[in-house]
């Protein structure tokens, strides 16, 4: 059930009215629901009861410490892609033994930090990275557990920018290179071959591509076993989509059923790296209409949030539902919901049929994933505040940036 519901005409996050949040904390701001986060994680974990499995939340989707904390307390592990994310996750109190490190460009410094704190596994994405990791592990006097991220060359049938499992993508090692690379990895003395990994894309709306990828990966697992390289875990990445508009993504149960059926009896630990599915529908961006600018060709509603806050519509043409916090009577018109940033691409929604007046509050829905985490300071706009609602309480989990902070690291010439 959605944590964002209308009560007495006012949109609420759990027990707190969004109008009250806007009053107290100002707009624009992000509002997350603790309950929605927990429920989304539970949906995975309840399917995995009795199975050696770990849900490693993909931190890039939303890296606020409070979000990480809520998920860590409920037993989530983490999938990180930088030293920055590693330090965030540790700051949130996560157990390093539940962290996997993905990404094509890990620096030696990042590897060293991850080795020192003792993460669970490095998802290695190239031959060159394998050599670097072995060398860094040797210097630090540690053994690095690794899996190879294999590119299974399957079509995830999603937006090309978020499709990652095709040969033409930069991610992972080519399928046919995997066996020789595993042989090489098992000969390197500071590496311990522990698993295999794949991630084929994001916002997938069917389970078939996951299953296709898994079948290919399992072929490799069997070939490796025949050569005496026994893997302990299989990491199936993230990618399960959510409903933004009218999509009908599979339930977690339907997504996992064919996967778990294929893994039955194999004694492989299962890792998953969901990002969007855990946080996407657990957050909204709350914004206020500054001006209405009706016109002959288009009607513009200029709001106080912009593409620097939520880049997805401008970047991918993504749809986010936009709903008034309080519905008003009056003529409905199609509005271009745009921000104050000086770019024609600065839109949050196009042609939305709404009855609007200046000063109205709007909630931009499904803004928990790849939203604040992809925000910028373009046009010297301070990043918006983040709130986490827990029952009847709204907690400020990141205060609004100040303009002084934006240029605090800069110097004028002497």
Q: Which is nearer to ligand LLP, 21 or 92 (CB)?
A: 92
Asked if 172 touches ligand LLP (CB under 6 A), the answer is no
Asked if 125 touches ligand LLP (CB under 6 A), the answer is no
Asked if 202 touches ligand LLP (CB under 6 A), the answer is yes
For the bound state, the minimum distance from the C-beta of residue 177 to ligand LLP, rounded and expressed in Å, comes to: 18
For the bound state, the minimum distance from the C-beta of residue 171 to ligand LLP, rounded and expressed in Å, comes to: 7
Q: Which is nearer to ligand LLP, 25 or 78 (CB)?
A: 78
Asked if 274 touches ligand LLP (CB under 6 A), the answer is yes
Asked if 152 touches ligand LLP (CB under 6 A), the answer is no
Options 277, 320, 352, 381; binder of ligand LLP; rule CB under 6 A: 277
Which residues 6+ apart lie within 8 Å of 8 measured at CB? none
For the bound state, the minimum distance from the C-beta of residue 149 to ligand LLP, rounded and expressed in Å, comes to: 7
Options 77, 165, 239, 339; binder of ligand LLP; rule CB under 6 A: 239
Q: Which is nearer to ligand LLP, 11 or 204 (CB)?
A: 204
Site for ligand LLP, residues 208 to 237, rule: CB under 6 A:
237
Options 63, 163, 194, 203; binder of ligand LLP; rule CB under 6 A: 203
Options 98, 312, 320, 352; binder of ligand LLP; rule CB under 6 A: 312
Options 175, 210, 347, 370; binder of ligand LLP; rule CB under 6 A: 370
Instruction: Judge whether 342 counts as a catalytic residue.
Output: yes
Asked if 106 touches ligand LLP (CB under 6 A), the answer is no
Question: Which x/- pattern over 47-66 shows residues binding ligand LLP (rule: CB under 6 A)?
Answer: -----------x--x-----
> Would you name the residues annotated as active-site residues?
342
Which residues form the interface with ligand LLP (CB under 6 A)? 58, 61, 79, 102, 162, 199, 202-203, 237-240, 273-277, 312, 370
């Amino acid at each position: 059930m959605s944590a964002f519901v209308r009560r007495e005409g006012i949109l609420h996050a759990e027990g707190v009215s969004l109008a009250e949040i806007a009053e107290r904390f100002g707009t624009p701001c992000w509002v997350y629901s603790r309950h929605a986060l927990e429920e989304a994680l539970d949906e995975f974990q309840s399917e995995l009861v009795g199975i050696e499995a770990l849900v490693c939340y993909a931190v890039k989707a939303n890296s606020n410490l409070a979000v990480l904390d809520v998920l860590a307390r409920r037993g989530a592990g983490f999938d990180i892609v930088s030293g920055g994310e590693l330090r965030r996750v540790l700051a949130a109190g996560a157990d390093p033994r539940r962290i996997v490190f993905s990404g094509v460009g890990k620096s030696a410094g990042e590897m060293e930090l991850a080795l020192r704190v003792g993460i669970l596994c490095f998802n290695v994405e190239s031959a060159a990275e394998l050599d670097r990791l072995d060398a860094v592990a040797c210097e630090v006097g540690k053994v690095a557990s690794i899996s190879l991220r294999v590119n299974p060359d399957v079509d995830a049938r999603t937006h090309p920018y978020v499709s990652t499992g095709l040969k033409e993508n930069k991610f992972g090692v080519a399928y046919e290179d995997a066996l020789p690379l595993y042989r090489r990895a098992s000969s390197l003395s500071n590496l311990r071959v522990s698993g295999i990994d794949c991630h084929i894309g994001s916002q997938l709306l069917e389970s078939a591509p996951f299953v296709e990828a898994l079948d290919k990966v399992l072929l490799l697992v069997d070939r490796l076993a025949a050569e005496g390289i026994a893997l302990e875990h299989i990491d199936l990445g993230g990618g399960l989509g959510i409903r933004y508009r009218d999509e009908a993504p599979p339930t977690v149960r339907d997504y996992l059923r064919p996967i778990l059926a294929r893994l039955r009896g194999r004694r492989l630990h299962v890792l998953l790296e969901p990002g969007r599915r855990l946080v996407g529908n657990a957050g909204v961006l709350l914004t206020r209409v500054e001006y209405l600018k009706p016109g002959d060709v288009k009607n513009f509603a200029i709001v106080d949030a912009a593409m620097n806050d939520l880049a997805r519509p401008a970047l991918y043409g993504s749809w986010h539902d936009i709903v008034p916090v309080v519905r008003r009577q009056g003529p409905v018109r199609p509005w271009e919901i745009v921000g104050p940033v000086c770019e024609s691409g600065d839109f949050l929604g196009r042609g939305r049929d709404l009855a609007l007046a200046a000063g109205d509050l709007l909630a931009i829905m499904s803004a928990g994933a790849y939203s604040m985490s992809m925000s910028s300071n373009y046009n010297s706009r301070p990043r918006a505040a983040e709130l986490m609602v827990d029952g009847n309480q709204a907690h400020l989990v990141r205060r609004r940036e100040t303009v002084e902070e934006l240029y605090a690291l800069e110097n004028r010439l002497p």
